[in-house]
C-alpha cells in the first residue's frame, strides 16, 4: 500500500545556474520534467499493485489518474488521526442537532459513507451522470447527486458495469452484495456540496496536458534535426540572459534531447562561423523555448493549484471542531479549477500553433532546406504525400484556437440570483478534453511528418556524400584524353563540380528525378569552363567532351539517387536512427518499429494502385490517414508516454559537453 503523503513533492525553486560553454548544465533545476517523472513513477507503482490511500491531505494527480484510468483500488485512510478528525466532525453535528440548532449543511460525513462510494468504484460500478447541467458554483451539485443516489440504491439512478451493461443502482448494489446507504442528517448535502467532480476531471486533463508539453519539446528537437537546424538556440547562455524559469528548462530539455544528433548543428561543438545557407533558424524552431517557457510555468502552477484542490474541504457550512464554530462561507466555488482549465486550453493552443508552424516549414520545399516537395519519397508529380496532412493540421489548429476561448466569461446568474457568480469549472474541464483530443491529432500528424522528413533528410545527405567519389571518377575519365591536364586541374574540377552539385540539388526539389538531375548537371557547365580558364588558358577544353561529361553526370546522379532511395525503402529502420539524437531515435523507433508505421514510399502505397512488376510493398497497404491514426491511438492510450518518459530520464542524465 502506498501512502500518498510520502510522495507529495514540493515544486523545487528555479535557480539560475552558471552557463557551461556549450551544453547542458549538470546542476540546472528542471522541475517540469522532474514533476512529470515523479507522477509517472507513482503511477507505475500503482499499476504494480499499490493502492491509493485517501486521507484528505496527500492525494496527488497521479493517484486520481491511476484510479480513474487504470482501475487502481482506492481506500479511505483509517489511521487514528483521520478517523478522529471525521468522528469529531460527525459528533459535533449531532450536538448541534440535539440542541436544536438549525444547520444548513455540514461536512461531517461518516467514514462508512465514503467507504460505500469506494466500494462502487473498486467494483467498477460507475454512476451514469449527465454530461451537462453543472455550473460548479455550490459545487457540482447535479453530478454529485447521482453518486449519492447510487449509494442509496435508487432505482431511478443508473450505473454502468465493467462489461458496459447499464442497470438501475438498486439492482447493481444487490448483485454486488453492497448494502444501500441510509444518509444521516445533512450527509446528502455534504456529498453534493463540493468541487470533487470538476477537480477530478481537471486532474485528468492536466495530467494529459503535461504529457503534451513534454511531447512538444521532443517533437521540436526532432524538427531541428529534420531541418538540420542549430542547437545554438537552446544553449543555456541565451536562456540565462533572460532567466524566465520555463524558458531555461525548455531550452535545457530540448538541447539534451538533441545530444548525439548527426543532423543538427552546434551539438557539443562551437558554431561554424563560415557556414553557408540559413545562418539562423526561423522562429518556429529558434524561439521555441521562449514560446514553451510560459506554458511550462503555467502548467506547473496549475498542478500546484489542483493538488491543493484535491486535498481541500469544499463544503458549506464548515465545522471548526477546535473552536466549536459553524463557519458559513463559499469553499464550493470552483473558480480555481476554471482558471487552471482555461489556462490549460490556452497553453494547448500555443503548443499547437508552434507544432503546426514547424510542420508547414518542413513540408514546404521553399523552406525545408532541400527536402522533396510535400515530403514525397517518389516523384512529386506522382504523389502529394503530406499536402493533405498540412490541410488537416490547419483544421486542427483552427479548432484549437476556438477552444482556447475562456469559459469563465460566460457565467449566467442562477438559482434566482443566489448563485449570481458561478465558476463553470466542469464545463471548462470538458472543453479542455476536446482541446486535448484535437492537439493529439495534430501531434500525431506532425510526428508522421517528422519521421518522413528524417528519412528523406538521411537520403539526401547520403546521396550528396556519395556523389563526391562519383564526381572524382567522372573528372578522371573526362581528363584522361587531355594530355595537357594535371593534378591541380583535376582537383579544381572535382571541387567546383561537387560544390555546384551541393548548391543546386537542394533547389530542384519540386521537379521529378530526371529533371532534378538534368538541371543540376547542366549547372556545372559554366563551372567547368571557368575552372579551365583559371587553371591555364593553354589547356584546351573540348566542347564535345564537356557535353559528354554533363550527360554522364546526369546519368550517374539518377542511378545513384535511385539506388540510395531503394536502399532506404528497405533499410530505413536501421539506417535513419544512426543519424538521430537521443530523443528522436527513441521516438522514431517507436513509430517505425513498435507501431509499424513505415516510410511512405509514394504512389505505390495507395491501396488500390496496381504495383509495377517487381515492386514489393508492405501489405496491407494503408492510407496516410490510417497511418496517422495508429500514431494518434498510441499517443492517446498512453503507449507513447513510456517513450516520452524514457526521453526525459535520458535527458536528465546528460552530462555537460
Per-residue pLDDT of 558-575, as tens digits, reads: 999 999 999 999 999 999
CA distances from 639 to 435, 451, 630 (A): 20, 18, 11
Contact indicator for 445, 359 with CB cutoff of 8 Å: yes
Contact indicator for 51, 75 with CB cutoff of 8 Å: yes
Q: Of the ranges 155-159, 429-433, 537-541, which one carries the lowest mean pLDDT score?
A: 537-541
What percent of the chain is predicted at pLDDT more than 70?
90
Residues serving a catalytic function are 104
Residue 636 in grid coordinates: 492517446
Domains along the chain with CATH numbers: 459-636 (1.10.274.20)
The Cα–Cα gap between 103 and 186 comes to 8
Residue 373 phi/psi, 5-degree rounding, is: -55, 130
Q: Cβ–Cβ contacts within 10 Å for residue 337, how many? A: 30
Scanning 153-195, the segments in alpha helix (DSSP H) are 169-176, 187-192
CA-angle at 435, arms to 434 and 441, nearest 5°: 95
649-653: average pLDDT: 93
Work out the pLDDT band at 82, boundaries 50, 70, 90.
low
- pLDDT, residue 19, reads 40
pLDDT digits (tens, 9 = 90+) for 509-529: 999 999 999 999 999 999 999
Closest by CA to 584, choosing from 229, 235, 207, 206, is: 229
Residue 454 phi/psi, 5-degree rounding, is: -65, -40
The Cα–Cα gap between 243 and 233 comes to 14
pLDDT digits (tens, 9 = 90+) for 29-42: 799 999 999 999 99
- pLDDT, residue 460, reads 98
632-653: average pLDDT: 96
Average pLDDT, the chain: 89
- pLDDT, residue 320, reads 77
pLDDT digits (tens, 9 = 90+) for 228-255: 999 999 999 999 999 999 999 999 999 9
pLDDT value at 96 more than 70: no
- pLDDT, residue 83, reads 59
pLDDT value at 18 more than 60: no
- pLDDT, residue 13, reads 36
65-76: average pLDDT: 92
Three-class secondary structure of residue 52 per DSSP: strand
Amino acid at each position: 500500500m502506498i501512502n500518498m503523503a510520502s510522495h507529495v513533492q514540493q515544486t523545487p525553486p528555479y535557480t539560475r545556474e552558471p552557463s557551461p560553454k556549450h551544453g547542458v548544465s549538470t546542476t540546472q533545476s528542471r522541475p517540469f520534467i522532474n514533476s512529470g517523472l515523479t507522477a509517472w513513477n507513482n503511477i507505475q507503482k500503482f499499476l504494480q499493485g499499490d493502492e491509493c490511500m485517501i486521507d484528505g491531505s496527500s492525494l496527488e494527480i497521479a493517484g486520481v489518474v491511476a484510479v480513474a484510468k487504470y482501475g487502481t483500488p482506492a481506500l479511505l485512510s483509517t489511521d487514528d488521526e483521520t478517523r478522529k478528525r471525521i468522528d469529531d466532525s460527525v459528533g459535533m453535528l449531532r450536538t448541534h442537532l440535539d440542541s436544536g440548532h438549525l444547520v444548513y449543511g455540514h461536512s461531517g460525513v461518516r467514514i462508512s459513507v465514503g467507504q460505500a462510494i469506494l466500494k462502487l468504484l473498486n467494483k467498477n460500478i460507475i454512476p451514469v451522470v449527465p454530461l451537462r447541467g453543472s455550473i460548479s458554483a455550490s459545487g457540482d451539485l447535479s453530478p454529485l447527486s447521482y453518486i449519492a443516489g447510487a449509494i442509496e440504491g435508487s432505482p431511478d439512478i443508473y450505473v454502468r458495469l465493467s462489461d458496459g451493461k447499464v442497470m438501475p443502482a438498486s439492482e447493481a448494489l444487490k448483485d454486488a452484495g453492497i448494502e444501500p446507504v441510509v444518509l444521516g442528517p445533512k450527509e446528502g448535502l455534504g456529498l453534493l456540496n463540493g468541487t470533487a467532480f470538476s477537480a477530478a476531471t481537471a486532474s485528468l486533463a492536466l495530467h494529459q496536458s503535461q504529457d503534451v508539453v513534454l511531447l512538444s519539446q521532443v517533437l521540436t528537437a526532432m524538427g531541428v534535426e529534420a531541418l538540420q537546424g542549430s542547437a545554438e538556440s537552446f544553449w543555456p547562455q541565451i536562456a540565462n540572459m533572460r532567466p524566465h524559469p520555463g524558458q531555461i528548462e525548455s531550452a535545457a530539455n530540448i538541447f539534451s534531447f538533441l545530444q548525439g544528433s548527426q543532423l543538427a548543428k552546434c551539438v557539443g561543438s562551437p558554431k561554424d562561423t563560415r557556414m553557408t545557407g540559413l545562418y539562423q533558424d526561423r522562429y518556429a524552431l529558434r524561439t521555441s523555448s521562449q514560446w514553451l517557457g510560459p506554458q511550462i510555468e503555467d502548467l506547473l502552477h496549475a498542478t500546484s493549484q489542483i493538488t491543493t484542490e484535491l486535498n481541500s474541504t469544499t463544503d458549506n457550512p464548515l465545522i471548526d471542531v477546535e473552536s466549536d464554530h459553524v463557519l458559513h462561507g463559499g469553499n464550493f466555488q470552483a473558480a480555481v479549477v476554471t482558471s487552471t482549465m482555461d489556462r490549460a486550453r490556452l497553453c494547448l493552443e500555443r503548443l499547437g500553433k508552434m507544432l503546426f508552424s514547424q510542420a508547414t516549414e518542413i513540408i514546404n520545399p521553399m523552406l525545408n532546406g532541400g527536402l522533396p516537395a510535400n515530403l514525397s519519397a517518389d516523384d512529386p508529380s506522382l504523389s502529394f504525400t503530406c499536402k493533405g496532412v498540412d490541410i488537416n493540421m490547419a483544421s486542427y489548429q483552427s479548432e484549437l484556437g476556438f477552444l482556447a476561448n475562456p469559459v469563465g466569461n460566460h457565467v449566467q446568474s442562477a438559482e434566482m440570483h443566489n448563485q449570481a457568480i458561478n465558476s463553470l469549472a466542469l464545463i471548462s474541464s470538458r472543453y479542455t478534453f476536446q482541446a486535448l483530443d484535437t492537439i493529439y491529432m495534430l501531434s500525431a500528424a506532425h510526428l508522421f511528418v517528422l519521421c518522413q522528413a528524417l528519412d528523406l533528410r538521411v537520403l539526401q545527405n547520403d546521396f550528396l556524400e556519395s556523389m563526391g567519389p562519383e564526381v572524382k571518377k567522372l573528372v578522371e575519365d573526362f581528363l584522361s584524353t587531355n594530355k595537357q591536364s594535371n593534378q591541380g586541374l583535376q582537383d579544381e574540377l572535382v571541387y567546383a563540380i561537387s560544390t555546384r552539385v551541393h548548391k543546386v540539388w537542394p533547389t530542384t526539389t519540386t521537379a521529378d528525378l530526371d529533371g532534378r538531375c538534368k538541371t543540376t548537371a547542366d549547372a556545372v557547365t559554366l563551372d567547368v569552363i571557368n575552372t579551365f580558364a583559371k587553371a591555364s588558358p593553354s589547356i584546351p577544353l573540348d566542347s564535345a567532351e564537356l557535353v559528354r561529361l554533363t550527360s554522364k553526370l546526369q546519368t550517374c546522379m539518377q542511378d545513384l539517387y535511385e539506388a540510395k532511395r531503394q536502399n532506404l525503402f528497405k533499410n530505413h529502420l536501421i539506417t535513419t536512427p544512426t543519424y538521430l539524437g537521443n530523443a528522436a531515435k527513441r521516438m522514431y523507433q517507436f513509430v517505425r518499429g513498435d507501431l509499424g508505421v513505415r516510410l511512405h514510399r509514394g504512389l505505390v502505397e495507395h491501396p488500390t494502385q496496381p504495383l509495377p512488376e517487381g515492386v514489393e510493398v508492405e501489405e496491407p497497404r494503408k492510407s496516410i490517414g490510417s497511418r496517422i491514426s495508429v500514431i494518434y491511438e498510441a499517443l492517446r492510450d498512453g503507449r507513447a508516454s513510456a517513450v516520452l518518459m524514457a526521453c526525459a530520464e535520458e535527458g536528465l542524465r546528460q552530462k555537460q559537453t
